[in-house]
Structure formats: C-alpha cells, structure tokens
Amino acid sequence: MSTTPKPPLVPPFTHETATLKVRAAEDGWNSRDPQRVSLAYTPDSQWRNRAEFVRGREQIVEFLTRKWRRELDYRLIKELWAFDGARIAVRFAYEWHDDSGHWYRSYGNENWEFDEAGLMHHRYACINDLPIQASERLFTWDASGPRPADFPSLSDLGL
C-alpha cells in the first residue's frame, strides 16, 4: 500500500480529472460527514442550494448537519455532465427517507467552480424531490460506505 499522497485534482480539468473530481465529491457526500465534506470547499465558499444561500465552511457544516438529520439513509450518485477550465457541471440523484419512513429520489444539477488549489469556491444546485415507494429504490449498496465501483451509474440505471 502506497503512502504517497495523491496529487490534488486541480484545474484546468481534463475529462479524466473532472470525472475523478466528481467521484471524489460523491464519495465525500456519501460519507455524510459534514466536517469532511466542508474541507473540499474554500473557507469563503458560496453556495445556492435550492432556495438556500450558504457562505463559508461553518455554514456548510451547519447546512449538511441539518440535511442529513432530515434525509436519512442518504445515498448519492453523481455523473459528469460537462467541464471547462476550472468549472464542472454534474447531474445527480440521491435516495433518502424522512423520519416517517417516506422515501424520495431527489434529482438535480450542480455547477461548480474551483480555485487553483482545487477547492470549490462556488456551488449552484437545483434539486427536485420525487416521492417513491421503498420497493422502487435503486441505490441499494451498504450505506456505511461509498458507492461500490461496480455499482451502476445514473446512465446505466436509466436515470
């Protein structure tokens, strides 16, 4: 096992590095660890998430803590849509349930912009929620870890 740290994924992105950046973001969010996720963003990062505006790492941690208290058994898949220079666009879907046991699949798009160190300084997310039955769930890997490498992508799932 190598102890050499991986080089950061920094702009300008190639198809390969943009794809790796998207998967790294997915894995981070699937950890459901607000502190860990916040470190991928600049200290003064600016977000628009639905109709909520978030500024800086402290607010990111607060936002994600609230989110994952409400969105239980959260599982996310992200897919690269486009990239150029320091920007990446993704589409995503995630499944979760509320504390009453009602399941949802949330669909959305995000636009990201990164600084020269590869930290995201702008994130714009548009998201829609679709109520689903538990029997309609597609994201069924063990919630204690990231999506397995052999688990289908959004495109493979027809989403």
**Tens digit of each residue's pLDDT (9 = 90 or more) over 19-34:** 999 999 999 999 999 9
What is the pLDDT, as a whole number, of residue 2?
43
Within a domain: 56? yes
| Residue 129 lies in domain | 15-136
Per the prediction, the chain carries an average pLDDT of 94
What is the pLDDT, as a whole number, of residue 7?
55
Q: Say whether pLDDT at 3 is over 90.
A: no
Of the chain, the percentage scoring pLDDT greater than 70 comes to: 96
Within a domain: 52? yes
What is the pLDDT, as a whole number, of residue 144?
78
Question: What would the mean pLDDT of 35-40 be, rounded to a whole number?
Answer: 97
Dist CA 45 CA 61 (whole Å): 12
CATH number, position 64: 3.10.450.50
